[in-house]
């Protein structure tokens, strides 16, 4: 049997390992950390458990498919629920909205609370569905770097509809047209942050994202987000994939234009196929430093990063759900800070994710586990110690003003994740959450391909290559990559 080596056990590396094993390869994974999952890991401290990175789960069938192709029933290994309310939105003026997953209920809520005609919501979500139906088969499920993708009938049909697909408009401009109430424009603009982009720059094509949350649904794994990692890791091991932890790959060996081995602490491991799950910018700087550098791709602006305070809160807030957003009073200024000024706005939008709402044992009795996050610029060498200290103060006053509370005395423990540690823990260039940003209409074409055009037997998966960041797209990158392997 042929052998495949995978560099990195992020979510895409795990999916690639499973897919290649099912395809008949002997598979060996090298992971620098002592644990699998990369960004999708967990933190346990003082009676609390936190999902460390991703908190929103969409397109669960991408996880289930990995069990199915392995001859397993996904329900026996990985359980999740569909959320009845996807998010609670709060503004400082006392207004709040519940985003019911039932579109009619949500449209009604918006009409009652904000006076926005319910029909506007239905129309916007129909448009989102339209974009999804036209673009997902092209952009999410196929390589953009093979001619066949551009000459098939699906692609030809889409060329005729470019305007309607939002390619020439920004997300904000489209949302201003769709909604009367500025709070709804803000709510729908926030979807740009789902791949670390700026709604005032990113094309309206990204209005595809609300479709995932409203028309398909937001989900929660019964054992927390980290169960995605746990269950896929277990599946890979059961299939016979070999894992090496604390094993940082130093170099991909290329001989006669072919990737033939990896070097790990001086030792060579040979394989017929090498798959890299590491961030591409840092990969070209390290394990591929001797190879031809795709300069233009590597220089693309990166997505935003995040500042997270994992807080053990010794109080319960019944008004809070699993996903909560406390909106900034000036969204434009907030994004201007993140993407143009490289700093943090004093009135940030605060996201609070509380898994103990659904999974009681994630916090002690009478307490909640708050994953309190704001979007921040990626790391360009700012003085993060100062920025984080200021931001912590601004976040606390924002929470106090919006939820009419005094939160600080209830914080009984704290851990922090920020751009520098996101990079040191997972090797993401500049601590970006999602690889490149999508702040221009060509972004999809400026991500690295799932294969190397210069080096044979070398393939790529993960959030910094096509089709992009976020769990579902990372899982799809492994699928697209595996389908290309002969």
Question: Mapping DSSP to helix (H, G, I), strand (E, B) and coil, where does residue 138 land?
Answer: helix
If the CB atoms of residues 166 and 463 are measured against ligand FAD, the closer one turns out to be: 463
Listed in sequence order, the DSSP H helices in 28-99 are 61-69
User: Which residue's structure tokens are 């940030």?
Assistant: 348
CB of 231 to ligand FAD, least distance (A): 15
| Alpha carbon separation from 117 to 3, 109, 110, 246 (Å, rounded) | 58, 10, 8, 55
CB of 193 to ligand FAD, least distance (A): 9
Tokens of 307: 């500042």
> In which region does residue 35 sit, left (phi positive, over 0), alpha (psi from -120 to 50) or beta (all else)?
beta
Work out the angle at residue 191's Cα, subtended by the Cα atoms of residues 416 and 14, and round it to the nearest 5 degrees: 60
CB of 15 to ligand FAD, least distance (A): 8
If the CB atoms of residues 9 and 206 are measured against ligand FAD, the closer one turns out to be: 9
CB of 439 to ligand FAD, least distance (A): 17
If the CB atoms of residues 116 and 435 are measured against ligand FAD, the closer one turns out to be: 435
Helix (H) / strand (E) element for 417: namely: strand 411-417
CB of 387 to ligand FAD, least distance (A): 16
Distance (Å, rounded) from C-alpha 466 to C-alpha 444? 7
If the CB atoms of residues 287 and 449 are measured against ligand FAD, the closer one turns out to be: 287
Work out the angle at residue 424's Cα, subtended by the Cα atoms of residues 423 and 425, and round it to the nearest 5 degrees: 95
If the CB atoms of residues 9 and 107 are measured against ligand FAD, the closer one turns out to be: 9
CB of 352 to ligand FAD, least distance (A): 13
If the CB atoms of residues 110 and 224 are measured against ligand FAD, the closer one turns out to be: 224
CB of 49 to ligand FAD, least distance (A): 16
Distance (Å, rounded) from C-alpha 233 to C-alpha 229? 6
| Burial call 210-226: b when 16+ CB within 10 Å, e when fewer | bbbbbebbbbbbebbbb
Helix (H) / strand (E) element for 184: namely: helix 182-189
Residue 414's DSSP bridge partners are 311
If the CB atoms of residues 106 and 434 are measured against ligand FAD, the closer one turns out to be: 434
Distance (Å, rounded) from C-alpha 455 to C-alpha 477? 19
CB of 103 to ligand FAD, least distance (A): 21
> In which region does residue 410 sit, left (phi positive, over 0), alpha (psi from -120 to 50) or beta (all else)?
alpha
Which residues of the shown chain bind ligand FAD in the complex (CB under 6 A)?
A: 7-13, 30-33, 38-40, 53-56, 248-249, 277-278, 287, 306, 308, 422, 426-428, 433-434, 462-463, 469-471, 474
Question: Mapping DSSP to helix (H, G, I), strand (E, B) and coil, where does residue 463 land?
Answer: coil
CB of 379 to ligand FAD, least distance (A): 13
CB of 244 to ligand FAD, least distance (A): 9
Distance (Å, rounded) from C-alpha 36 to C-alpha 481? 20
If the CB atoms of residues 56 and 395 are measured against ligand FAD, the closer one turns out to be: 56
If the CB atoms of residues 29 and 107 are measured against ligand FAD, the closer one turns out to be: 29
**Which sign, positive or negative, has the C-alpha torsion 288, 293, 297, 303?**
positive
Distance (Å, rounded) from C-alpha 275 to C-alpha 8? 9
If the CB atoms of residues 11 and 476 are measured against ligand FAD, the closer one turns out to be: 11
């Amino acid at each position: 049997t042929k052998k495949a080596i995978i560099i990195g056990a992020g979510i895409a590396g795990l999916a690639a390992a499973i897919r290649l094993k099912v395809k008949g390869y002997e598979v060996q994974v090298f992971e620098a950390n002592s644990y699998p999952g990369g960004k999708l890991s967990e933190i346990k401290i003082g009676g609390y458990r936190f999902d460390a990175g991703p908190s929103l789960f969409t397109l669960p069938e991408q996880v289930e498919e990995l069990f199915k192709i392995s001859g397993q029933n996904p329900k026996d290994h990985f359980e999740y629920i569909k959320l009845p309310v996807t998010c609670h939105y709060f503004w400082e003026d006392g207004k709040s909205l519940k985003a019911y997953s039932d579109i009619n209920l949500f449209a009604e809520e918006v009409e009652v609370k904000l006076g926005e005609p319910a029909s506007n919501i239905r129309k916007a979500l129909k448009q989102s569905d339209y974009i999804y139906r036209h673009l997902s088969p092209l952009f999410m499920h196929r390589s953009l770097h093979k001619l066949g993708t551009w000459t098939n009938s699906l692609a030809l049909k889409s060329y005729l509809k470019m305007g309607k697909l939002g390619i020439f408009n920004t997300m904000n401009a489209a949302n201003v047209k769709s909604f009367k109430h500025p709070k709804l424009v803000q709510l729908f603009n926030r979807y740009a942050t789902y791949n670390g982009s700026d709604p005032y720059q990113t094309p309206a094509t990204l209005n595809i994202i609300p479709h995932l949350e409203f028309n398909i649904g937001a989900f929660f794994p019964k054992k927390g987000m980290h169960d995605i990692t746990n269950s896929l890791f277990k599946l890979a091991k059961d299939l016979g994939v070999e894992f090496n932890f604390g094993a940082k790959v130093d170099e991909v060996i290329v001989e006669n234009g072919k990737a033939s081995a990896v070097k790990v602490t001086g030792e060579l491991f040979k394989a017929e196929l090498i798959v890299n799950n590491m961030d591409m910018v840092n990969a070209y700087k390290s394990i591929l430093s001797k190879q031809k550098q795709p300069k233009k791709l590597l220089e693309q602006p990166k997505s935003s990063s995040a500042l997270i305070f994992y807080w053990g809160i010794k109080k319960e807030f019944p008004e809070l759900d699993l996903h909560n957003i406390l909106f900034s009073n000036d969204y434009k200024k907030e994004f201007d800070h993140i993407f143009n000024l490289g700093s943090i706005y004093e009135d940030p939008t605060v996201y609070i994710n509380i898994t103990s709402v659904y999974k009681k044992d994630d916090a002690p009795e009478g307490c909640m586990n708050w994953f309190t996050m704001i979007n921040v610029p990626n790391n360009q060498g700012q003085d993060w110690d100062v920025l984080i200290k200021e931001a912590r103060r601004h976040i606390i006053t924002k929470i106090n003003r919006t939820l009419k509370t005094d939160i600080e005395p209830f914080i009984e423990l704290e851990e922090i994740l920020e751009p520098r540690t996101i990079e040191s823990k997972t090797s993401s260039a500049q601590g970006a959450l999602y690889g490149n940003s999508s702040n221009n209409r060509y972004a999809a074409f400026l991500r690295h391909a799932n294969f190397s055009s210069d080096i044979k037997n070398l393939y790529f998966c993960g959030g910094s290559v096509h089709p992009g960041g976020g769990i579902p797209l990372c899982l799809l990158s492994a699928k697209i990559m595996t389908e290309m392997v002969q």
